Structure 1
């Protein structure tokens, strides 16, 4: 087949697509707070059904293993003309299948509840993964390269704000209406939100992508691995996902069963993390666009190793460290999330090859994501008899798994050195830029400068950015020299000296 150049969206279509993808993310965030296997709602429902702690890891493993369905997405969707409709209708089936788990106690005998839960979660997740590479290609094509990191930060901020509200309201609701009836209402809400997220896509323009000659299943799958930069980034990320996945299914279990927190208390702690995540996003997009993805990853991977260790020092009588852990997690995760996504979207090829690219990435990650929870679950069972104290904190099987996760996270820290990025600055240079002046004063005043409308207030914020003495303020102040307001231009000029 003769190649055709990709047809990019018009300016108006791009603006409309970015706005609708924002709404789509908001609805899916609400759905994710209910349907996510490792969320308090879903974990609480599984424990309500009588599942063991290690069973949560098994469910997470099957859910992650479903990601291998993305391998078949390029071949399945290549000849489908209305790809947007394929995404939407299969997406409807995904939402309904996953959240129909809430009806298991009504239709299945008790000894089949665990099998039924795994079957529905895995089946629905497979449907979601079949459309995911096509959706990712659609999404990546719609975002202009020059604003990619900032747009991803903005969309992720909206997603997390929605998750904060949904998670807290769902937690309070389950505390007030405990038992099966509460879960039914929450899961029905999640189903409505998930379907709404797909309905929004009906109005998103789908760009004409460059067609390429048909390839077989294996060439399509292994094609992206010929790119050395892709391989190095994938090796780093897979080892990271594996190290994190060893422990991630058990943090909520730890809060529910070891510390015995209520759903609303867990929601508050999760909201601390998400608020800090959002605050971090306000600056990460700017940092990454300016300094590159790799140095941000290198800087943030160090505190990422410490987070599982901090979880160990909490118990029923004393969990004062948990808010600190959540806050640190939020800041660290924000930078890591934007940097990895920006790295990945920047590597994505043009045209229909995007589907194979995202499928190969997701399938590889799925192998690590599915293996890690199973191993984590086995470790939870293996260390069940082990009990000892560190100071006044009792340490049991779950905390030991957290420590194993921390040790494994050292591996991707070293592997990150092999990842290449042409225009990235060194971590030392970035830290030097952050240390000079007052970065917090700059960040605060830039945040207000970019949002306030009043001329005098904008002028004050421009002056305050100059007083911060931060090198990061220079670019913003130079741009402010072109502001429509003479007062803002004057203060920017004074701040630059």
Structure 2
């Protein structure tokens, strides 16, 4: 028994250290996202990609990586552990920034070359996803998922925001023009590569709990499809697929709308894009605590009925200040949806079947994204109802998102015992908690600074209240 206790204590220490390493891994990974994939669409615009290509670039790689995730369980068996599989694919993901940059030099073939390179990038990224999720699911306890991932996502958001803004300034500094502009992309993509390699070094330091490696998935894809309407996780998969379909009808085209139709510069485009990340930084921990206390389903349902309004708001003005306000609202809504969706993946799957479930889930969600992006591209290319061809894309995206929420999200079941709270009160709690936390923090910090300063003045004067 003493030996068993010592082993449990040792594992607890390793787990705490691993969760700390995971925070650092996430921060470095997010720096890569901000410097790298956040500018894939802008890079494609620089290479003169058309609307249909932008739609394909935003969806084909995602769909391909999702389909290949079917083999995640087999890949764990090939590598012998989740840790080795994750670190290998993450390193290969980093190296893909090299062919992405080299696409510039193949002139007439630059767009196909970019598409192939980005597909490879997302394939390696996608192979990491379900295996890493299974690994982290074993490290983070059930009752701490919302708060831990909320805190981790907050740090990730700060890193993404900082690198996105820095990337925008770098591109602006190099200016518009073939050679100079390309050098800007060389710099930011090189920084992305380095950040991901540092991220891999933290992944290598993490502890991996015992895991039964099998060469075959826990159940077949056909069985998964047959059980979709009858299982809680299956209904969540249907909902997420339809929602993702609606999101990707418009998702790949905001960059083109801002850069082509509104003629924004890279810095303006980056600032508008970064606002969403900024709001997520401060709101994700609030949503995470709400999910821990009131249930993941409650947060998911509320946020799912809020996000359909976002694309419609883009129709009413092209003013930069107005678009920033939309992104502020959108960031708040998306933070709730993302933290709830992520936690629901863990809540509704068992550790033994998690890799298989997440792999199949990502296949369907990825295929839905592919169809959404391609349909959005066709709509944008072949309609002339508004001054911008993207307006109809935004409208249809909103309608599909609302249908996903109305028809599917309410059928999900909460899997934990949680406190009850009406949706209106939950929304009010989130909206009022976010700013008040910042105000309270600043007031407390200011009071401490004043008290510290007063104490110093007393000491300098030669007396102290405890003398």
TM-score bin, normalised by smaller chain: 0.7 to 0.9
Q: Distance in 1 between matches of 2:90 and 2:434?
A: 44
CA distance in 2, matches of 1:229, 1:211: 26
* Cα pair 1:164 1:270 within 8 Å, conserved: no
Q: Distance in 2 between matches of 1:328 and 1:59?
A: 27
Deviation at 1:348, TM superposition (A): 2.4
- The C-alpha deviation readout for 1:255-299, integer Å capped at 9, x for no partner, is 111111121122222232222212212311121111112222222
Please name the residue that 2:233 is paired with: 230
Structure 1 alignment gaps of length 5 or more: 1-6, 389-394, 459-497
Residue aligning to 1:444: 437
**Counterparts of 1:124 and 1:112 in 2: how far apart (Å)?**
18
The question of 1:33 aligning with 2:31 is answered no
Matches within 5 A, 1:484-495: none
SS at match of 1:78: helix
| C-alpha contact 1:294 1:424 (8 A) present in aligned 2 | no
The TM-score with structure 1 as length reference comes to: 0.80
1:103-182 alignment runs, 5 A limit: 103-106=102-105, 108=106, 110-178=107-175, 179-182=181-184
Q: 1:284 aligns with which of 276, 283, 287?
A: 287
Q: 1:49 aligns with which of 42, 47, 50?
A: 47
Give me the whole-angstrom Cα distance separating, in 2, the residues matched to 1:196 and 1:308. Answer: 36
Give the Å deviation of 1:372.
1.1
**SS state at 2:204 partner:** helix
Q: Deviations over 1:146-191 (max 9, x none)?
A: 2110011011101110111101111011011131111111111111
Aligned residue for 1:444, secondary structure, equals: helix
Q: What are the residue-to-residue correspondences of 1:237-252 with 2, within 5 Å?
A: 237-252=240-255
Q: Which has the bigger relative contact order, CA under 8 A and spacing at least 6? A: 2
Distance 1:45 1:438 in 2: 36
Q: What residue number does 2:340 align with?
A: 339
Q: Which residue of 1 aligns with 2:381?
A: 381
Kept after mapping to 1: 8 A contact 2:21/2:205: yes
- Whether the aligned pair in 2 keeps the contact of 1:224 and 1:230 (CA below 8 Å) is no
- Which of 360, 375, 389 is the equivalent residue of 1:397? 389
CA distance in 2, matches of 1:338, 1:451: 28
| SS of structure 2 residue aligned to 1:10 | helix
8 A contact 2:304–2:409 mirrored in 1: no
Give the conservation status (yes or no) of the 8 Å contact 1:149–1:338: yes
Shift of 1:137: 0.8
* TM-aligned CA deviation for residue 124 of structure 1: 2.5
* Residues 272-421 of structure 1: pairs in structure 2 closer than 5 A: 272-315=275-318, 318-351=319-352, 353-383=353-383, 386-388=384-386, 395-414=387-406, 415-421=408-414
**CA distance 1:219–1:436, shift in 2 (3 Å):** closer
CA contact (8 A) 2:248 2:372 kept: yes
2:72, 2:294 → 1: CA distance? 35
Per the alignment, residue 475 of structure 1 pairs with: none
Q: Is residue 2:14 matched to residue 1:22?
A: no
Does the C-alpha gap of structure 1 residues 183 and 228 become closer, same or farther in structure 2, counting only changes over 3 Å?
same
- Is the contact made by 2:138 and 2:209 (CA closer than 8 Å) also made in structure 1? yes
Q: Which runs of 5+ in 2 are unaligned?
A: 1-6, 176-180, 452-467
Deviation at 1:238, TM superposition (A): 0.8
Aligned to 1:86: 85
CA distance in 2, matches of 1:153, 1:451: 23
d(CA) in 2 for partners of 1:363, 1:139:
20
Name the SS of the counterpart of 1:11 in structure 2.
Answer: helix
RMSD: 2.9
Provide the residue aligned with 1:478 in structure 2. none
- Alignment partners' CA distance in 2, 1:287 and 1:450: 24
Alpha carbons of structure 1 residues 349 and 240: separation in structure 2 relative to 1, 3 Å: same
SS of residue in 1 equivalent to 2:208: coil
1:90-111 CA-partner distances (Å, limit 9, x unpaired): 32122212442111223x2x22
Pair 90,456 (structure 1): closer, same or farther in 2 beyond 3 Å:
closer
> Are the counterparts in 1 of residues 97 and 190 from structure 2 also a CA contact under 8 Å?
no
- Structure 2 partner of 1:96: 95
Shift of 1:85: 2.2
1:196-207 to structure 2, matched below 5 A, reads 196-207=198-209
Q: CA deviation at 1:445?
A: 7.6
Asked if the contact 1:283/1:443 (under 8 Å) is kept, the reply is no
C-alpha distance in structure 1 between counterparts of 2:136 and 2:265, whole Å: 38
Q: Could you tell me how far 1:215 is from its partner in structure 2?
A: 4.2
- Aligned twin of 1:270: 273
Q: In structure 2, what is the Cα distance between the partners aligned to 1:443 and 1:170?
A: 31
Counterpart of 2:220 in 1: which secondary structure?
helix
Q: Distance in 1 between matches of 2:16 and 2:392?
A: 49
Q: Which has the higher helix share?
A: 2
TM-score (norm: length of structure 2):
0.85
Q: Does structure 1 retain, via aligned residues, the 8 Å contact 2:283–2:434?
A: no
Aligned equivalents of 1:322, 1:456: Cα separation in 2: 37
